Structure formats: structure tokens, C-alpha cells
């Protein structure tokens, strides 16, 4: 026989708990941005060393929702992450200069290089892009002929045109 619903689920930790949701405020947002921009993780802002939420602070999921839904916060958070990437690279030099244990130093440096490459791939990433302009546009070729198929006169004309457009 099935017990009535109220008795069946009693004692299983499903009781309604008071809300622990933290509301967005500009002061809290600035604290988060300063924390991240200073090279620290969002996790260390929201949780203690045991992984428990720090009272009065939002969860990481809440901060991610704020990034998506609160105008301006996402852009500022991305800027803080860029600052964090630069600090990680600065730490690499410090670790290389001061850490005596080479295996530990290599591990610490590799972790920071990996993170910096993800935060700022255009600056610290491993991918090399060959572009023709300052803004990163690809090199444009006119026509479909391969350079080996062109005559010397055609190659000279292309080179002259390139010099004219540069000036």
C-alpha cells in the first residue's frame, strides 16, 4: 500500500529552505570584477576552500546568468578576464625566475599559458594567422592563376599595384 504523499517523502531533505539567492547590485558586481581582474578565480569569490557557498555571495551560475542578462556586466566581466590573462602571463615570468623545483615550475607555467591562451587567444594563443591588413582581414588574391603560371610581366604588374596601394 502506498503511503499518503506527505508521510512518504518526509525526512528526505525536501523541505523548503529559505532562499539563499543573492540579488544583483552594482557594489557586488564591482567586487566580482575586481576579484577576477586581480587574477583570482570566480570560484574563489563565490565559494570557500571546501566548495561551500560564501554567505552573501552569488553562486557561479548566478554570475553567469548576470553576464548574459544584465546589460554591461558581461562586457565588463570579459574585460576583467582579459586583465586576468595579462596577470597570468606576468606570473609566468615570476615563477620562472623564482621557483626552484623545475617540475613544479613547468606545471604552473603550462597551466597559466593554457589559461591565458583561452582568455586572450589573439594575444597568447598558439594559432598563427597570416593576414594582409592591420585589422586581420585575409590576404586577397586577384584572379585564379597560380604564381607559377604567371609571366614575369604579370608578376611585375601585381607587385607594382601592391606598392601603389600601400602608398
Q: What is the CATH number of the domain that holds 118?
A: 1.10.10.60
Residue 53 falls inside a structural domain: yes
Q: Is residue 108 part of a domain?
A: yes
Nearest to 154, CA basis, from 143, 165, 164: 143
In the chain (167 residues long), the average pLDDT of successive 10-residue segments reads 52 55 92 94 93 92 94 94 94 95 96 93 80 66 71 83 65
The predicted structure's pLDDT at residue 56: 92
Amino acid 147: pLDDT: 74
On whether residue 156 sits in a domain, the answer given is no
Domain annotation covers residue 151: no
Query: For residue 93, what pLDDT is reported?
Result: 93
Residue 74: per-residue pLDDT: 93
Residue reference for cell 621557483? 99
Q: Could you give the number of structural domains in the chain?
A: 1
pLDDT given for residue 152 in this prediction: 86
Q: What's this model's pTM, rounded to 2 decimal places? A: 0.63
Predicted confidence at residue 3, as pLDDT, reads 47
Amino acid at each position: 500500500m502506498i503511503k499518503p504523499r506527505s508521510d512518504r517523502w518526509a525526512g528526505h531533505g525536501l523541505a523548503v529552505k529559505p532562499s539563499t539567492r543573492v540579488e544583483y547590485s552594482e557594489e557586488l558586481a564591482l567586487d566580482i570584477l575586481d576579484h577576477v581582474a586581480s587574477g583570482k578565480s570566480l570560484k574563489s569569490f563565490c565559494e570557500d576552500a571546501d566548495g561551500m557557498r560564501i554567505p552573501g555571495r552569488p553562486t557561479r551560475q548566478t554570475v553567469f546568468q548576470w553576464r548574459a542578462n544584465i546589460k554591461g556586466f558581461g562586457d565588463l566581466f570579459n574585460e576583467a578576464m582579459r586583465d586576468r590573462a595579462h596577470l597570468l602571463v606576468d606570473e609566468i615570468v615570476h615563477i620562472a625566475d623564482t621557483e626552484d623545483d623545475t617540475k613544479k615550475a613547468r606545471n604552473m607555467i603550462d597551466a597559466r599559458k593554457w589559461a591565458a591562451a583561452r582568455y586572450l587567444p589573439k594575444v597568447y594563443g598558439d594559432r598563427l594567422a597570416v593576414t594582409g591588413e592591420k585589422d586581420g582581414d585575409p590576404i586577397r588574391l586577384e584572379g585564379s592563376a597560380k604564381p607559377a603560371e604567371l609571366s614575369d610581366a604579370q608578376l611585375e604588374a601585381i607587385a607594382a599595384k601592391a606598392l601603389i596601394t600601400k602608398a
